[in-house]
Amino acid sequence: MAQHRFHFTTTSPDRVTIEIGGALGDLIAEELTAKTVEALANQTTTKFVLLDIRGLTDFTVMARVGLGTCQKLLRRRQIRTAWLVSTPRQHGLATLVTYSAADDGAGVFQTLAQAEAWFAAKKST
């Protein structure tokens, strides 16, 4: 598989953005889950996570499982998750992961404006 990348950014006191790009393999998904646990351990105020996978080019079946583990972690912490996608394959991946995690606090969006509006609506409820 080709090179991968992921980057965590705290964009506000209650929000973290995770950008995932390149090819996501089995071990990389495990590393992503570990880094997510580490990043959220020190941020008890996090209520929203934006998972930007628009740069994701490929993924393995086990990487998909790893993303599901990440999503379940976010669900248990009651963190709202917006998946930002740009291709049908990414949309399918995000939909499958959120469905498999049984997380009704997660949504899949094609534009940042849609995700921002969804977060804003959730803040007011």
Amino acid at 61: V
The residues, ordered by sequence, that sit 6+ positions from 55 with a Cβ below 8 Å of its Cβ are: 5, 19, 20, 21, 22
Q: Write out the residue range of the structural domain in which residue 84 sits.
A: 4-119
DSSP calls for 7-22: EEEEEETTEEEEEEEE
How many independent structural domains does the chain possess?
1
Entry pTM: 0.88
pLDDT one-digit tens code per residue, 65-79: 889 988 998 999 899
- 81 part of a folded domain: yes
* pLDDT at residue number 31: 81
Q: Stretch 109-118: mean pLDDT, rounded?
A: 96
Q: Stretch 48-77: mean pLDDT, rounded?
A: 90
Q: Stretch 39-45: mean pLDDT, rounded?
A: 76
Q: 39: pLDDT confidence band, cut at 50, 70 and 90?
A: confident
- 124 part of a folded domain: no
pLDDT one-digit tens code per residue, 99-110: 999 999 999 999
Which CATH number is 62's domain given?
3.30.750.24
The residues, ordered by sequence, that sit 6+ positions from 80 with a Cβ below 8 Å of its Cβ are: 47, 48, 49, 105, 106, 119, 122
CB atoms closer than 10 angstroms to residue 124: 5
Whether the predicted pLDDT of 125 surpasses 70: no
Residues 23, 57: contact at Cβ < 8 Å? Answer: yes
- 125 part of a folded domain: no
